[in-house]
């Protein structure tokens, strides 16, 4: 992720903070002396004027946003520190404008807060921050797979606002290991979570370790299944901040209650630069392989990870939005409470022992076609009718049609032994071959499945 840097910088304990500022001078507290008094500590703070840094000066880049603090052994403090009730604050600000919320966020956290900028319509956040007249910081994640238009947009935003965005990058060794072991496009097979974890979530985690709060462009209307209850401010349920531990990071969502159309009206009214991909039909913009234009009438998130469930489209940056059951489904551990599917007398239900025995046979009496499924998976649900139809069509023809539930505790086995990538996975166990053949097409109608069976039976 990246920080916006304008005309001032501050040095604390030997480390440099870059921040945007509208004034030429910035006063920053400098750690003074500690004096131990029985059961509490007294901290004397002195203020020191900072030198002005040119707007276009390149800041020193660190792997995280956390300054290297001087080694100071702080005395134990026995007095309780009052903790702010951000749930109550969210209620108080629920009807506030994005500008008011942004102003409150910057006022409360100063240099310890930064705007998360993805290169899409969340440029509105930067405009709101500018309008407050307060110093602000901006950061962004460069996954290495963004569209060329997005990179050019970053440069345009820096020049328009006179800021410097500092980017966070994924660990090169982790990316190398992922690509070498699974290829460049493994997310089409087994979901986007692993790639996003390497390229986005871990770099974000490092960045947030240097902050006490961050500002996002989340809106309630963006994703029906994951963002409909996003508050304007909350204690971050997933990530940790500068002080470490649960509750150490606050998350601000100034446009949570704003509709997408109103965001665009604001951008046009303020003549704010926008990503040129928007004029090509892109609404929600992420990495190039996982983003496509949407058609008129389609929801904006349908352009992201379109091969996955529309109700659980989060890359991990906002995983705290997921309800417990949705998170379990993303991990492949769907609860047994879901009604089973593929219920038909023409289908054989295989247990773990049954599928293991089938896989071990080298000479079968007849070929078997088996679907590896999860009852909560919408793609499995969508093919239920055609798969049951296949079973009815080949009944008595010498082909067995079966199902094996491969989520939950069975998922690891299915991935290791049965080529499970994503749900559903369809396998054909030939008559005279031990190794099953995986059905590679996404066409799961009866005729396509029959063609697969007939070609290999």
Active site residues: 377, 380
Element spanning 177, H or E? helix 172-182
CA–CA separation, 15 and 423 (whole Å):
49
Backbone φ, ψ for residue 337 (5° rounding): -70, -20
In 3-state terms, what secondary structure has residue 447? helix
Question: How far is 397 from 319, CA to CA, in rounded Å?
Answer: 48
Residue with tokens 């769907």: 334
Q: Where are the beta strands (DSSP E) in 203-356?
A: 213-215, 233-235, 250-252, 348-349
The tokens describing 281, both together, are: 């039909």
Q: Is 424 helix (H, G, I), strand (E, B) or coil?
A: coil
- 84 in helix, strand or coil? coil
Angle at alpha carbon of residue 248, lines to 246 and 250, rounded to 5°: 115
**CA distances in angstroms from 26 to 23, 45, 198, listed in the order given:** 7, 16, 37
Which residues face 287 on adjacent strands?
146
Q: Specify the residue for token string 């983003």.
A: 291
The label of the residue with tokens 């403090």 reads 77
The number of angstroms, rounded, from the C-alpha of 295 to the middle of its chain's C-alpha atoms is 23
């Amino acid at each position: 992720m990246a920080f916006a840097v304008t005309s001032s910088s501050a040095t604390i304990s030997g480390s440099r903070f870059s921040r945007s500022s509208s004034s030429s001078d910035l006063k920053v507290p400098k750690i003074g002396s500690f004096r131990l008094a029985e059961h509490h500590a007294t901290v004397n703070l002195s203020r020191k004027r900072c030198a002005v840094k040119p707007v276009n000066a390149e800041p020193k880049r660190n792997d995280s946003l956390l300054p290297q603090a001087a080694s100071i052994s702080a005395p134990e403090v026995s007095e309780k520190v009052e903790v702010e009730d951000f749930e109550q604050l969210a209620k108080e600000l629920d009807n506030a404008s994005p500008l008011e919320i942004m102003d409150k966020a910057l006022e409360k956290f100063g240099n310890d807060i930064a705007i998360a900028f993805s290169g899409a319509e969340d440029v509105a956040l930067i405009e709101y921050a500018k309008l407050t007249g307060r110093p602000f910081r901006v950061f962004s994640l460069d996954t290495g797979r963004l569209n060329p238009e997005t990179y050019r947009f970053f440069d345009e935003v820096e020049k328009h606002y006179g800021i410097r965005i500092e980017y966070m990058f994924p660990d090169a060794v982790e990316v190398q290991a992922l690509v070498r072991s699974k290829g460049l496009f493994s997310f089409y097979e087994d979901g986007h979570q692993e790639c996003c974890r390497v390229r986005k979530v871990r770099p974000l985690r490092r960045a947030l370790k240097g902050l006490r709060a961050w500002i996002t462009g989340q809106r309630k209307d963006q994703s029906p299944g994951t963002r409909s209850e996003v508050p304007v401010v909350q204690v971050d349920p997933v990530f940790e901040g500068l002080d470490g531990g649960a509750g150490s990071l606050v998350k601000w969502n100034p446009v949570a209650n704003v509709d997408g159309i109103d965001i665009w009206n604001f951008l046009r009214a303020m003549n704010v630069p926008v990503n040129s991909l928007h004029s090509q039909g892109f609404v929600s913009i992420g990495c190039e392989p996982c983003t496509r234009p949407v058609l008129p009438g389609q929801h904006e998130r349908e352009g992201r990870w379109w091969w996955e469930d529309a109700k659980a489209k989060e890359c991990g940056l906002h995983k705290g939005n997921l309800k417990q059951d949705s998170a379990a489904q993303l991990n492949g551990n769907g609860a047994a409470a879901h009604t089973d599917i593929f219920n038909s007398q023409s289908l054989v239900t295989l247990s773990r022992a049954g599928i293991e025995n089938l896989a071990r046979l080298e000479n079968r009496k007849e070929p078997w076609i088996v679907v590896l499924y999860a009852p909560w998976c919408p793609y499995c649900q969508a093919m239920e009718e055609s798969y049951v139809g296949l079973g009815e069509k080949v009944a008595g023809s010498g082909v067995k049609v079966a199902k094996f539930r491969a989520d939950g505790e069975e998922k690891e086995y299915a991935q290791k032994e049965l080529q499970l990538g994503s749900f559903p996975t369809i396998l054909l166990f030939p008559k005279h071959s031990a190794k099953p053949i995986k059905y590679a097409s996404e066409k799961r109608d009866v005729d396509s499945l029959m063609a697969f069976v007939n070609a290999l039976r």
